[in-house]
Amino acid sequence: MFIAMNRFKVVLGCEQDFVDVWKNRETYLDTVPGFKTFHLLKGPTDEECTLFASHSVWESREAFEAWTKSEAFRKAHANAGSKGKKDIYVGHPKFEGFEEVL
């Protein structure tokens, strides 16, 4: 198993805009070999931002990496850098990948 997580720092007051981007986005993940599940998680809020994490579970690191090189990945991320959407983030997302050991 491989878990892929991206951490997002979202500008205060833009939390619902961020969630709406994910709700209205076609990810194409259901068509990708090795994909298991996806969750969008909301974390703590501080004086600067609210932390969110996207959390996807894959059969293996290889399945995840194959997806990152696929047409489905390109289509899912086609509008990721659209004007206006960048204004809701504090900095860039941070990727973290985890392989199952137990």
Domain layout of the chain by residue ranges: 2-99
8 in Cβ contact with 56 (< 8 Å): no
Q: How many angstroms separate the CA atoms of 26 and 18, rounded? A: 15
At 85 the pLDDT is: 58
Query: What mean pLDDT do residues 79-84 have?
Result: 56
Q: Categorize the per-residue pLDDT at 31 as very low, low, confident or very high, splitting at 50, 70 and 90.
A: confident
For the segment 2-18, the average pLDDT, to the nearest whole number, is 97
Chain segment 43-67, per-residue pLDDT in tens: 999 999 999 999 999 999 999 999 9
**Architecture (CATH level 2) of domain 2-99:** 2-Layer Sandwich (3.30)
Lowest model confidence (mean pLDDT) among 12-16, 26-30, 82-86: 82-86
